[in-house]
Structure 1
Amino acid sequence: MTDAQDVPRFLNDVTPERRHREAAVLNALFQEVTGWQPRLWSGSILGYGTYDYTYASGRSGTFLATGFSPRKARLSVYIMPGYADFGHILTDLGKHKTGKSCLYINKLEDVDMQVLKTLIRAGLDDLATRWPVVPT
């Protein structure tokens, strides 16, 4: 995680222009849903909230509670920790692909923004049943 002051610079530098606009929309949406300020992770992920985890293997760390990355090819939305089945929400979302903890969206106009808000909230609620989530 980096300093919050890096966030405006990161958002300003997002390209192409469509991704720049989508990043601004997603930043506002995540702030609305979470009530938290973003922090920059790994130089290209905006994260909202954090959680400390310890796996059965003993591996532990701190990671973002939810967030997104405006990658050039597609938007990556992080729904942590990726254990819950959100199929009932995803059926109404619109065009997307999924990974373990990621949702991939080609363009925001492909998805229902209200459903995306519901998904973000559901992911945070699920995460909070496993580990305490700390606001940023």
Structure 2
Amino acid sequence: MYILKTKETDHSVIEYIEQVENPKKREDAYQLLDIFTETTGYEAKMWGPSIIGFGSYHYKYPSGHEGDAPLVGFSPRKAKISLYFATGDTKREPLLKDFGKHTTGKACVYINKVADINVEILKELIIQSVQFLQEVYPDKTTK
């Protein structure tokens, strides 16, 4: 049976950010913490060892696989900062055109630093992701 590794923990978000080695990346992590907290209204929680998540939802796939995940989040990784948004909303791509310097993965948007991006568009992406997941999982989202 598959065991989900990315679960909400009671580890300290601040302690995690303080352990980020690169001072500029640590500063960016604090800036993102403020932006995500302000934009979502949710308290930051650690998900697994390295994802800072906001809010949560419970999903269940047709295959029967189910679990909990943050509505949005980020992780200040060594190579790049990972931003986590819902992938099902097709409105994301037009916003990313004016987002700034980034690359994308299936569920992530990767940036080098906050100075490379348009923070107002980041806020729109956060709002869009939270709204999308609240519509798809209306009874399954929590703070």
TM-score by length of 2: 0.89
| Paired residues, number | 133
Q: Which runs of 5+ in 1 are unaligned?
A: none
Query: How far, CA to CA, are the matches of 2:99 and 2:39 in structure 1?
Result: 16
Q: Which runs of 5+ in 2 are unaligned?
A: 1-7
Comparing 69-78 with 120-129, greater Cα deviation is found at: 120-129
Amino acid at match of 2:137: W
The correspondence for 2:45, drawn from 35, 39, 45, is: 39
Q: For 1:18, what is the secondary structure of its paired residue?
A: helix
Which residue is 2:78 aligned to? 72
Q: CA deviation at 1:101?
A: 1.2
1:2 counterpart = 2:9 = yes
Which residue is 1:11 aligned to? 17
Q: CA deviation at 1:70?
A: 0.3
Identity rate, percent: 38
Q: CA deviation at 1:128?
A: 1.2
Q: For 2:55, what is the secondary structure of its paired residue?
A: strand
Matches within 5 A, 1:45-124: 45-80=51-86, 82-85=87-90, 86-124=92-130
* RMSD, aligned α-carbons: 1.0
Which residue is 2:3 aligned to? none
The correspondence for 2:26, drawn from 20, 34, 47, is: 20
- Structure (1 or 2) with the greater strand fraction: 1
TM-score by length of 1: 0.94
Question: Which 4+ residue blocks in structure 1 deviate beyond 6 angstroms?
Answer: none
1:30 counterpart = 2:32 = no
